[in-house]
Amino acid sequence: MPIATVNPATGETLQTFEALGAEEIERCLAAADAAFRTYRTTEFAERARLLNRAADLLESEQADIARTMTTEMGKPVAAARAEAAKCAKAMRWYAKHAPALLADEHPSRADAADSGATRAYTRYRPLGVVLAVMPWNFPLWQVVRFAAPALMAGNTGLLKHASNVPQTALYLGELFERAGFPKGCFQTLLIGSGAVESVLRDPRVAAATLTGSEPAGRSVAAVAGDEVKKTVLELGGSDPYIVMPSADVARAARTAVTARVQNNGQSCIAAKRFIVHTDVYDAFTEEFTTRMAALKVGDPLDESTDVGPLATEQGRTDLEELVDDAVRKGATALCGGSRPAGTDRGWFYSPTVLMGITTDMRIHHEEAFGPVATLYRVASADEAVRVANDTPFGLSSNVWTREADEVELFVRDIEAGGIFFNGMTASHPALPFGGVKRSGYGRELSGHGIREFCNITTVWHAADPDA
């Protein structure tokens, strides 16, 4: 795949970039390693000052970088501005909380003595150079939610971004340098996917994090495993959205629309499978379908647009094949199911609601990465759990209920990294983010995320036998 900005609303190639050669990659690796040797000893206060400065710059440039993101991958420009603001918020959160999150941890005095120590504690030390392989769908947020904690922990970073968002990738590399981080602390590598293995195998790279597809995750994890290097993987999702009889059905349906079409439906944590109790199925389906059909599809730079184009032509083709397979096998499209009229240019697809899903349909097992929702009718909470778990993924989930016993059942039994009640899944700096099953492993954000790329070190002092 060429490294290029291709406007998904028009299909026009706006700018192309040359991939880095071997000598340039070597210079970046050497700079990252050299920077780590000194940056790792900086105080939290200095790291926080630099990260807050990066947040200041991002906030002042919010409108410009939002337009760049929209032009490169098609998200509505209002959503792009919100993404930039969220990134600045996360930077400030980690700048404030990292010292407490990485503070030394002390066992009880009795446990220390029992181990034969006069003093013992755990210290979180940085690992080194971390390679980040990031996707295009949230081209700022996916990077910052790694970079902010990694830099606050004292690591340095190398970013291999998706090849269709090179301008956003370059902006990120320059942002941290302009904020005052030492040269080499955070660098963008404009390289193709074929160059990732050699970078990851380099002994100066200590660990890797990847957000993306399952095949990409398998590839990076296999190389890292061969090199015995730590990885964090956040892969696909096919999140359930369960609506039970006690729910506020109208509010659940309104929220469901946003949960499905956020980021033009191209979000790992977007709700994709809508599992509705039979007592409220008809009411939910009518409200949900009506609202999905009313969404405005069009130019993502138009402030009134609800749904822009898919990011790539191949992405739209993949989505069309899933929908066509389902319809051919008996599913009904209550709305959408095709490209919208009047969009001869660009990679647009109509918001779609499918009912009558069966287990022989690909869309039941595969992630639909676009504005396509599938409906399931269930008769009980137990059946809702069974359908929710009937997927290879386990990223997050949404449940609408006011019944306390149902809450406990869903918390106990749903196989996912998150369960959001009476609202839609969202990421926040203070809350851990990640999944189970084929959605990956490890966690981003919160204290769990900042500790993923730390050397969790036991420090033990022997008792003095002569004391």
Residue 309: closest CA among 334, 342, 272: 342
DSSP code of 235?
-
For 83-122, b/e burial (b = at least 16 CB within 10 A) is bbbbbbbbbbbbbebbeebbeeeebeeeebeeeebeebbe
Q: Phi and psi for 141 in degrees, rounded to 5?
A: -65, -45
Q: What are 430's two structure tokens?
A: 């203070």
The C-alpha angle with vertex 327 and arms to 325 and 330, in degrees rounded to 5, equals 110
Burial (CB count within 10 angstroms: exposed 0-12, middle 13-18, buried 19+), residue 399: buried
Is residue 427 within 8 Å of 89, Cβ to Cβ?
A: no
Residue 300: closest CA among 57, 60, 16, 83: 83
Point out the catalytic residue in the list 72, 83, 234, 367: 234
Residues whose CB is less than 8 angstroms from the CB of residue 126 and which lie 6 or more positions away in sequence, other chains included: 36, 40, 153, 154, 155, 453, 454, 455
Point out the catalytic residue in the list 28, 87, 268, 454: 268
Rounded to an integer, what distance in angstroms lies between the CA atom of residue 464 and that of residue 467? 5
Rounded to an integer, what distance in angstroms lies between the CA atom of residue 32 and that of residue 19? 19
Catalytic site residue 321?
Answer: no
HSE-up (13 A, CA, CB side) for residue 148:
33
DSSP code of 345?
S
Catalytic site residue 87?
Answer: no
Q: Which residues are catalytic?
A: 234, 268
